[in-house]
Amino acid sequence: MTLRRHLEARLREVEAALRRMEEGTYGICQECGRPIEVARLKALPFAAFCLECQARRER
């Protein structure tokens, strides 16, 4: 059950990234509006926040 919830959450993240691509906002942090580093997008193609904003959100 936990694995299913994890996979469903990941699917929602991927679908949101695809929507951002269609809207032309992919690779732009949803919080601060700055570009997300290419290395971060390579590691997490569905990343919605830059590293700094993600770290703040996790605190």
Decide: 13 and 31 in contact? Cβ < 8 Å: no
Could you give the C-alpha distances from 9 to 1, 2, 31, 37, 38, in angstroms and in order? 12, 11, 20, 23, 23
Decide: 28 and 34 in contact? Cβ < 8 Å: yes
Tens digit of each residue's pLDDT, the chain (59 residues): 899 999 999 999 999 999 999 999 999 999 999 999 999 999 999 999 999 999 999 99
List the end-to-end C-alpha distance of the chain, in Å, as a whole number: 27
Give CA–CA dist 58/36, Å, rounded. Answer: 17
